[in-house]
Amino acid sequence: MQFIAAFLYAYSQNVDVIVMPRGIPDPKRSAIEPKNELKADLERWANRDAADLFARIALAEQGPGELEPKATQPASNPDRMWNILKQLIIGVSRKIPVICAAGNSGESQLIYPASLAAPDNGIIAVGAVTVEGFRSGYSNYGEGLTLVAPSDDGEVFNRHQLRINRLSPLIAKHQYSPDTGKEYCYSHLSLLSTDLPGVFGYDEGKAPWSTLLPSANNPGVGGGYYTSFGGTSGAAALVGGVAALVQRAHRAVHGGSGKLDGIAVKSILEEASSRSSNVGPGIRTLTPDCMNGDHEDVIDPRYFFGAGLLNAAKAVGAVLNS
């Protein structure tokens, strides 16, 4: 499996940090749990599926034809490789910090493998926040979230909150009348990242940054060397950069090629984070919002922000002054 090979290679190269900007499609562990209000409907579907299964078994007992010759056989264990990968990720994280994006579906649960984050490992689950001080509209949150970092925003339309880009030219075509206290400020700022020019880049030339090198006079070049970026992927990349700086600072102080283990780096990053901070240039401190339930904003802020917003200078300074 390519994921196992990738983690083993990273471990053999003694890298400083591993960044996982996306989830891993483990068929069992990557499944999103249904929300409480949907469970009753799903249970009805489960009962229907069970009834269908009994009917298929009855048909199978009447003779061959229903059985699939290429189906997984009873003696095999298709979950074995995924079990190995899970234990490998956890084991490697204790030596090398593994920075994982929390996910971009606005769920009150983390995607896999961010959901593996625990006090006894070096897996760091990263959520996204905006300059307005709120969780990014798409950012997953919930139990296990380690900390947050700046990113862009996403519009939200549900019965718990409204978050829209009121600068959009299409805004006049719709009527938005949210209940009092249910509209949250949308952030228009995003991350700026380097990019490959041309069709192989993230930006093929449609974003404003496409005018920044190479020359827009060459229509065959496509996007420039820079592009706007976001998501919990972008937030995780920022945290990964700070983790790399922490490792470099450790070597500057202690010399040699040694490095901090994953649990130590995670502890330093958490200590350098705060839930009472604001994302510059914004002025509002980190503030919970109601995404998947009314009055959800009264839940412990750690549910939304973990240890809080990471301060890169504080994290590096803690190592240099140790």
What is the pLDDT, as a whole number, of residue 221? 47
- Number of other residues whose CB lies within 10 A of the CB of residue 167: 8
pLDDT value at residue 226: 80
Is the CB of residue 156 less than 8 Å from the CB of residue 122? no
Domain of residue 251: give its range: 2-6+17-26+80-190+230-320
Structure tokens at 176: 């938005």
Number of independent structural domains in the chain: 1
Residue 316 has pLDDT above 60, yes or no: yes
pLDDT tens figures, 90-113: 999 999 999 999 999 999 999 999
- Dig out the tokens for 76 from the structure: 């095999």
Indicate the helix (H) or strand (E) that contains 100: strand 98-101
- Model confidence at 197, pLDDT cuts 50, 70, 90, reads confident
pLDDT, residue 310, reads 98
Residue 43 belongs to some domain of the structure: no
**How confident is the model over 34-71, as pLDDT tens digits?**
666 556 566 666 666 666 665 666 555 555 444 455 56
Side chain identity at residue 212, one-letter code: L
Longest CA–CA span in the chain (Å) reads: 76
Average pLDDT over residues 228-247: 97
Residue 219, pLDDT above cutoff 90: no
- Evaluate whether 99 touches 22 at the Cβ level (below 8 Å): no
Per-residue pLDDT band for 134 (boundaries 50, 70, 90) equals: very high
Task: Please state, rounded to an integer, the average pLDDT across all residues of the chain.
Answer: 86
* 60 located within any domain: no
Does 75 reside within a domain? no
- Sequence-distant (6+) residues with CB within 8 A of 279 are 129, 130, 131, 132, 133, 150, 309
Looking at 166-175, 244-253, 276-285, which range is the least confident one? 166-175
Residue holding tokens 């048909």?
59
**Within a domain: 200:** no
Other C-beta atoms within 10 Å of 248: how many? 14
Q: Which range among 136-140, 183-187, 254-258 shows the weakest confidence by mean pLDDT? A: 254-258
In a domain, 91, yes or no: yes
Report yes or no on 55 lying in a domain: no
Residue 101 lies in a domain: yes
Q: Does the pLDDT at position 268 exceed 60? A: yes
Interval 134-157 mean pLDDT:
97
Looking at residue 66, what is its pLDDT? 46
Q: In this structure, what token pair is assigned to residue 53?
A: 């299964």
Whether 110 contacts 232, CB under 8 Å: no
CATH of the domain at 279: 3.40.50.200
- Note whether 140 and 127 are within 8 A (CB): yes
pLDDT (0 to 100) of residue 147: 98
> Tell me, what amino acid is at 265?
V
Q: Structure pTM?
A: 0.84
The answer to whether the beta carbons of residues 203 and 210 sit under 8 Å apart is: yes
Q: Are 51 and 58 in contact (CB under 8 A)?
A: no
Examine residue 197 and state whether it is found in any structural domain, yes or no.
no
**What is the average per-residue pLDDT within 185-189?**
95
- 295 pLDDT exceeds 50? yes
